[in-house]
Chain A
Amino acid sequence: MARHVVAAVGEIAEGERKLVTIEGRNIGIFNVEGEYYALLNRCPHAGAELCRGFIVGFADSDEPGHYKLDRKGEFLRCPWHGWEFDIRTGQSWFDPKVRTRAYKTSVEKGAELQKGPYVAETFAVKVEENYIVIEI
């Protein structure tokens, strides 16, 4: 298992995403209210690029005709068939057994990262900044 530096903190705004390729895997990095999550960019249903879907809230209802939106920005809607996935876990809402791979993320100081080991092929890690790291 290797640690990969995938972005600098501040590079992905809240509610935004960054798509990266690591060891041949396409992965989406999401900033949900300041927390970072990483999902394999592949829908377990039919293989679509899940991480390119709408970032949405969870539509809920107390009774017919009443609409509310909870957990704003915490779900991904697959661009092909609209299945909803929890960005925090990679699980689909309608059946938690249907899930895409979720990777562990962390934010680490550049000073710590420079002690290694880590992989950061695309940019230099500076001592004074913080970085998003995922483990694969």
Chain B
Amino acid sequence: MSRQAATGADARPAGTGLFRGEAIDCDVHVAVPSMKVFAPYLNDYWREAVTTRGLDRHNMNITGQAANAPINARPDWRPKQGNPGTDLPTLQNQLDTFGTKYAILNCMYGAQALHHEDMAAAFCSAINDWIAREWLDKDARLRASIVLPIQNPQNCVKEIEKRAGDKRFVQVLVPAMGEMTLGRRYYWPIYEACEKYDLPVGVHAGSTYRFAPASVGWFSYAFEDYVSQAGAFENQLLSLVAEGVFSKFPALKVVFMESGFAWLPPFLWRANKTWRGVRAETPWVKQEPALIIREHVRVTLQPVDAPIDGGALERTIEQIGSDDMLLFSTDFPHWHFDGLDALPETLSAALRKKILIDNPLATYSRLREHAPGRIDPCEMGSQPHGS
């Protein structure tokens, strides 16, 4: 798509919609409709492999994002044709309704769960090209996370360097449950690159199913899989702090998406309490975990795993001890709330503004810059992966 289309999108009426253009939606989903969309972005080898190996018959949607699951799409956000999250007009209608200034696209796709690290790199790169051309180029409000081939940190760094010049990519995307705890030094080349290019590490609910999604074994039901995600985020948060990621990369930000956050207060209390007694084991952790987490970690609003009215949200924020951490999200097209109830009416105006726009702007430095529009990866001297 052309730059003219993006310019055209700028002409939408400003200051309309529920939040009058003063909202940044930090978790919006787009879905790959079919592997056919990758064809222009794969090199000859991988394009042929998609056909000869029959990969396109399977697509690669991950189990946790089952297209027909009710949680995966609100009925009014389900397009007339195709899978939820594959249709630009439905998304644009949602952006208009909420009055969204920017929306950050997260594409959860099975390429991140492949065991074949070269294939993963090729497909993740194709996904990012596809996101840039078919979404970012078509609406100036859209921003995106760089889908990382998390199987191999060196490949992740290559992908980050390939995208870093396009300021519409504002963070990187990794699944909450991968092969190793995210704090381990194996992953540090990724964090070094993220710090260098001002890209927060976006950790989204989802598993590559290397291990049982719960440490007690395999569940039977989607219900269990969904509810158990919060536990995985606790584990990753602990790993990031204990392994010293934030000591080594002091400018790094991590954003938990679709993690819920009502579990944070007891987690922070337990982490602080335990750290006081075993601090000497990890002497690079020089502050209470809660202080480190409040500085470096952000969480998206939906799903709100507490009653959203009656002051519960305010109490949770008070217990977390910071109103800097929450970032507005609708989690479009997933079904976490009805109608326009993404943010409770009872919140103070100041807190609403923080969640809707101040906190996202503080988290994503790239949103504070005027996005220069796309820079073709080819213009940056990069070649498609996997050759």
List chain A positions with a Cβ less than 8 A from chain B: 56, 59-61, 63-68, 81-84, 93-94
Contacts and interface: CB of A to CB of B under 8 A. Distances in A.
Given A64-B248, A65-B244, 16 more contacts: A56-B280, A59-B280, A60-B283, A61-B284, A64-B185, A64-B243, A64-B245, A64-B247, A67-B283, A68-B283, A81-B276, A81-B277, A82-B277, A93-B279, A94-B275, A94-B288
B349 interface: no
Given A64-B185, A64-B248, A66-B284, A59 B243 contact: no
A59 B285 CA distance: 11
Size class of B's contact patch?
A: 10 to 19
14 contacts: A56-B280, A59-B281, A63-B244, A63-B247, A63-B284, A64-B185, A64-B248, A64-B284, A66-B284, A81-B276, A83-B276, A83-B277, A94-B275, A94-B279
B277 A61 contact: no
A84 B284 CA distance: 16
Interface of B: 185, 243-245, 247-248, 275-284, 286, 288
A81 B278 CA distance: 9
Contacts of A65: 185, 244, 284
Per CB-CB distance, the 3 closest pairs between chain A and chain B, nearest first, are A64-B244, A82-B277, A59-B280
A89 to B, nearest CB: 17
Nearest to B288: A94
Contacts of A82: 276-278
A2 to B, nearest CB: 35
A59 B202 CA distance: 32
Contacts of B247: 61, 63-64
A81 B245 CA distance: 26
Contacts of A84: 279-280
Contacts of A59: 279-281, 283
| Centre residue among A66, A82, A83, A84 by max chain B CB count within 10 A | A82
A63 B192 CA distance: 14
A72 to B, nearest CB: 13
Nearest to B273: A81
Contacts of B244: 61, 63-65
A64 B284 CA distance: 6
A83 B275 CA distance: 9
| Centre residue among A64, A68, A81, A93 by max chain B CB count within 10 A | A64
A43 to B, nearest CB: 11
A134 B277 CA distance: 30
